[in-house]
Amino acid sequence: MPGESPMSQQRESSTATERLATVRSRIEAACRQAGRNPDDVKLIAVGKTKPAAVIAALADAGLVDFGENYVQEATEKIASLDAPGLTWHFIGHIQSNKCADVAKHFDWVHTVDRAKIARRLDAAAARLGRSLNVLIQVNVDEEAGKSGVLAHELPDLVEEVAALPALVLRGLMTIPAPVSGQDAQRRPFAQLRRLLESVRSPGDAMDCLSMGMSADLEAAIAEGATHVRVGTALFGPRQY
């Protein structure tokens, strides 16, 4: 975080790299249990509020995919790291006036939940001459006030996003309400998997399920997660 001493950042970096081995072991164990190949599950380190030095330490340990929630914080980290080999995922709520920055600095956007945002991302990516991998965020639990399209609205949004030339619609994303017990955790993930199956067309690029975080990644992997977004298990509780 801003204001941390170099020694404090060094300790935090060391702890994060140690935790990385534990998280990878959890993913491998969950894949074995589900009969899946661990290579088919991408680990995204969610680095919000964490300094660039900690991200760099995880990159040095072989991690490639990093997620950020806040545009300004992320762009500062990306610029300071200057590491073209990393893949950046935007996983926060998207404001209309930030679409150009998101399209410029990120490779993936996991939180498209309305056509207006999709069109703005498409226009910004087109101006930059690049394509952008996107996922549609689904509010599977229909929680009031939570971002994400509702299940019955998904087919129309899929059709609209898939038609935008600078966007590559890769799949779906969700953040379900926290629950205890793997059986209960699996239900919303199973619902997202079924939704993906229902809106996919043969030969399209929709093959991704971004679901599962520190507390429920095993349940998500059991239901087919291709991307798990892990923050606390790598960095510890966040201090805002």
According to DSSP, the residues that pair with 227 across neighbouring strands are 42, 210
According to DSSP, the residues that pair with 169 across neighbouring strands are 134
**Alpha-carbon torsion 115, 92, 68, 184, what sign?**
negative
Mean pLDDT of 72-98: 95
pLDDT of residue 43: 98
pTM above 0.75, yes or no: yes
Chain segment 2-46, per-residue pLDDT in tens: 556 666 667 778 888 899 999 999 999 999 999 999 999 999 999
Whether 176 and 189 have beta carbons less than 8 Å apart is answered as yes
Burial of residue 20 (CB within 10 Å: 0-12, 13-18, 19+) is buried
Spell out the domains of the chain, with CATH numbers in brackets: 6-235 (3.20.20.10)
Average pLDDT, the chain: 94
Sort residue 143 into left (φ over 0), alpha (ψ -120 to 50) or beta: beta
Looking at per-residue confidence, does 14 or 225 come out higher? 225
Calpha distance 135→205 (Å, rounded): 11
Cβ-Cβ contacts under 8 Å for 185 (sequence gap 6 or more): 176, 179, 216, 219, 220
Lowest mean pLDDT among 50-54, 92-96, 119-123, 224-228: 50-54
pLDDT of residue 64: 97
